[in-house]
Amino acid sequence: MDITVAYFHPLFHPESVKRDFEQIRASGANSIVYAMHEQEEQRWPRDFERGLRIAQDAELKVHLSLGRFGNLFAGPTYMPSWYTFRHPQSLVKDRHGRAHDMTCFNHEAFRSWLFSEVEYYLTTYPLNGILIDEPRVPDITCFCSVCRALCPDITDLQHFRRRSMVDFLNELFSCVKRANSQAKTSIVLLPQDLNLIEELATVPALDTIGCHLFWQLLGEDVAMVETWGHQVVDAVKQHGKRSQLWLQNFNLDETDEPMLASAFSGLLSAEPDDIACYYFWRNNANPEQVWQQTRGLLRRIPRRQLFWQTSPRIPVTNIAGTESS
């Protein structure tokens, strides 16, 4: 069982970053998720490169999350997509012609730009994978000129939208593999979008399917963590993909903190391939206490053996004087 920690903090202070990564590694984690928003890399490439080197020194793999690219994915900073702002012709349009705040993924110019960005990141920096965080599912049927041209049958537009989203993600993950065949690909869904798993599992270039088990944020009982967790792991396992379950260790007040252990136990009972959480993330009443509790919970996860025994065991003489193997 692997451990991933999301690190959504600035990389500008090397000593602080080094301390943070050492703490994350000491918790048993072997990888981090770092989010990149549009235009950020152009403004501070030295800081980004230095941060990645520090992660390597701490023996942490880095998976890059594409934060709010095209306003199609989640990201830690609530900033609008620069691409969408500069290309209003790419906006999703509903049946009444009203534009919505996201780019339609069927626009070839957007795909070309996005795939070029992904290729640049993977060939320029020592990254180990790309993660898509909470893709915006097609809750709005797009009637833009591109979608109408690709699907003239208006009655089929809603189903077409869903099919084309899976096709878009398939192309995106294939782009990742072309740029770096060793790079891992992941997608993390919200519980209400778990009905997408069956379709996403058919994408050959997708390695891991995860879920944000954010019971408190979604106003659910903590028992739903176990229910969602088993739903994800069971569905993903049938298709030979890896599963990843995310613990909500943020936005917790004093009454929520005692439920963190229950949420973790429910998550662990599903036996995912990967457990993920956050490093000092937003809006906890007691940030230090929540992180220390998270570290304690992560230490419950069985560690892999570092050295496997390949030679026959040396016979040991027991108290009775006979040999036991």
List the structure tokens of 115: 């795939």
152-181 burial, b at 16+ Cβ within 10 Å, e below that, comes to: eeeeebeebbeebbeebbbebbbbbbebbe
Closest CA to 33 of 76, 56, 65, 78: 65
Task: Compute the chain's Rg from CA coordinates.
Answer: 22
**HSE toward the beta carbon, residue 131, CA cutoff 13 A:** 29
Cα–Cα dist 66/180, whole Å: 17
Q: Is 11 exposed, middle or buried (0-12, 13-18, 19+ CB in 10 A)?
A: buried
| Residue carrying structure tokens 């599912």 | 137
* Angle between the N-to-C axes of helices 259-269 and 224-237, in degrees from 0 to 180, rounded to the nearest 10: 20
Continuous segment of H or E residues that includes residue 324: strand 323-324
> Residue 114 corresponds to which tokens in the numbers above?
């996005």
pTM for this structure?
0.90
Structure tokens at 18: 């080094």
- Return the residue matching tokens 């993924």: 105
- pLDDT recorded at residue 301: 86
Name the residue type at position 47: D
Q: How many CB atoms lie within 10 A of CB 131?
A: 23
Question: CA geometry: angle at 308 spanning 305 and 310, to 5°?
Answer: 170
**Per-position pLDDT tens, the chain of length 325:** 899 999 999 999 999 999 999 999 999 999 999 999 999 999 999 999 999 999 999 999 999 999 999 999 999 998 899 999 999 999 999 999 999 999 999 999 999 999 999 999 999 999 999 999 999 887 789 999 999 999 999 888 889 999 999 999 999 999 999 999 999 999 999 999 999 999 999 999 999 999 999 999 999 999 999 999 999 999 999 999 999 999 999 999 999 999 999 999 999 999 999 999 999 999 999 999 999 999 999 998 876 533 333 334 334 444 444 444 3
Phi-psi group of 251: left, alpha or beta (phi > 0 → left; psi -120 to 50 → alpha; rest → beta): left
Nearest partner of 263 among 218, 207, 209, judged by Cα:
218
pLDDT score of 304: 53
Contact 109, 66 (CB under 8 A): no
**Looking up tokens 């069971």, which residue turns up?**
234
Residue 204 CA to residue 186 CA, distance in Å, equals 12
